[in-house]
């Protein structure tokens, strides 16, 4: 069982639509992104160079890392533009009474 399962990350109301926020979950930094389609969570450190994606540029369902320009789909973690070659780790989230929680 993943020790981060069921970790509470904050309240959906505290994250504006179309915005992102970095939160801690254990020893990890998780980037939350709130879109019309839902709230998504991915690892905050880019798979290419380890830069923090929370400083990146959110455009629709994509995020561009400011260090080297890699582009990822925030819903799936898929690499849409290099130099990254590995997808960005993502996490399932659920909303329970307005609270964002990492799902199993």
How confident is the model over 82-98, as pLDDT tens digits?
899 999 999 999 998 99
> Left (φ > 0), alpha (ψ -120 to 50) or beta: where does 77 sit?
left
Length of the chain: 104
> Is 31 in contact with 47 (CB distance < 8 Å)?
no
Query: Is 3 part of any domain?
Result: no
Query: Is 94 part of any domain?
Result: yes
In the prediction, which pLDDT does 1 show?
46
> Number of folded domains in the chain?
1
**Structural domain boundaries, residue 89:** 8-102
Q: Is 53 exposed, middle or buried (0-12, 13-18, 19+ CB in 10 A)?
A: buried
Query: pLDDT per residue over 19-69, tens digit each?
Result: 999 999 888 999 999 999 999 999 999 999 889 999 999 999 999 999 999
Query: Is 1 part of any domain?
Result: no
Query: pLDDT per residue over 29-41, tens digit each?
Result: 999 999 999 999 9
């Amino acid at each position: 069982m993943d020790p981060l399962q069921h970790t509470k990350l904050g309240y959906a109301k505290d994250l504006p639509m179309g915005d992102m926020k970095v939160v801690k979950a254990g020893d990890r930094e998780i980037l939350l992104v709130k879109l019309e389609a839902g709230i998504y969570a991915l690892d905050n450190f880019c798979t290419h160079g380890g830069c923090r994606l929370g400083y990146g540029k959110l455009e629709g369902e994509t995020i561009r890392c400011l260090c080297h320009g890699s582009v990822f789909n925030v819903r799936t973690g898929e690499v849409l533009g290099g130099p990254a070659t590995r997808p960005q780790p993502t996490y399932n989230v659920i909303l329970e009474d307005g609270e964002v929680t990492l799902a199993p």
